[in-house]
Amino acid sequence: MYNMANRKKVLIAVCILSALLLLVTSFYTQVFYRADQTAIDALSSDELVNISQTDYGWFFDGPSEENAIIFYPGGKVEEVAYAPMLHALASQGVDVILVSMPARLAILDVDAADEVLTQYDYDHWYISGHSLGGACASIYASENTEKFDGIILLGAYASEPLGDMRALLIYGSEDQVMDREKYAESRTNVREDAVEFVIEGGNHAQFGSYGAQKGDGEASITGQEQIEITVSVIISFVQAGQQ
C-alpha cells in the first residue's frame, strides 16, 4: 500500500514537471525578434529577383548563375527579417539561400547547409551568418572548407579554425552585443589577410530588419544605410575572389 502511494506521488510529480517543461519550451520558442514590415515587403519578387519558400527556408533567385550564399540567421530572430539585405544581394549578382532553423537557433542544426548544397549547382559557394548564425556557419565551414570560396560573418566571429578559406568580417562600430574579447581571440581562426570592415555608426541588429535588440548600442545610421553598405562590401568581396 505504501509503495503504491509512493509510486503514485512520483508519477504525479513527473507529470507536473513534464507539463511545466512543455509550457516553458512552448513559451521560449514563441519569444523571438519578429521581422518588421520592411522585411515582409522585401519578400516580394520583382523583375530581378524571384523569391520562393522552400523546405529549408527561402530562396532569393537573382540573375546570377555562378554565385550563391547560404545564410544562417541570428539566434531568436525571425529568419525573414534578413529579406531586405538578401534581396539586395540577389539583385546584384549573388543568389542567397536563407535557412530556417529549429526554434530559430542555428546551433540546433549546424549542418543545415548539407541539404542546400545538394539542391543547386553554382560555381562559387559562400557561407554566411549573423551573430549566432555566423558562429554556427563557421563551425560548419571549418569541417567543409573545400565546399566554399569564402565565409562572410556579420556581427560574429569564427568559432573554429577555417584554414585557408577567404573570410570577410563585418560589424558595426556601435555593436554592443558581439563579444569583442572573443572576437579578438578568434581572429587567429581566420587568415591573416581576412577582410575586416567596420560600419561606422552601425550596430548589431541592423543587419536585419527586426527593430532594436536588447543590449545593443544605438546606431547613428539607418537600417537601410547599414544594409546598403553591407551589400556593397559583400559584393566587392565576392568579385575580388574571382579576379
What would the pLDDT profile of 84-124 be if each residue is shown by its tens digit?
999 999 999 999 999 999 999 999 999 999 999 999 999 99
188 or 17: which leads in pLDDT: 188
Nearest to 77 by CA among 25, 27, 24, 132: 132
Residues 197 and 221 in one domain: yes
Strands (E) in 131-194, as ranges, are 150-154, 166-172
Residues 58 and 160 in one domain: yes
Mean pLDDT for the chain? 90
pLDDT at 90: 98
Structural domain boundaries enclosing 5: 1-31
CATH number, domain containing residue 162:
3.40.50.1820
Percent of the chain with pLDDT over 90: 86
pLDDT at 241: 85
Q: What is the domain count for the chain?
A: 2
**Helix or strand (DSSP H, E) at 13:** helix 2-29
DSSP 149: S
Residues 212 and 152 in one domain: yes
Is residue 6 predicted with pLDDT exceeding 60?
Answer: no
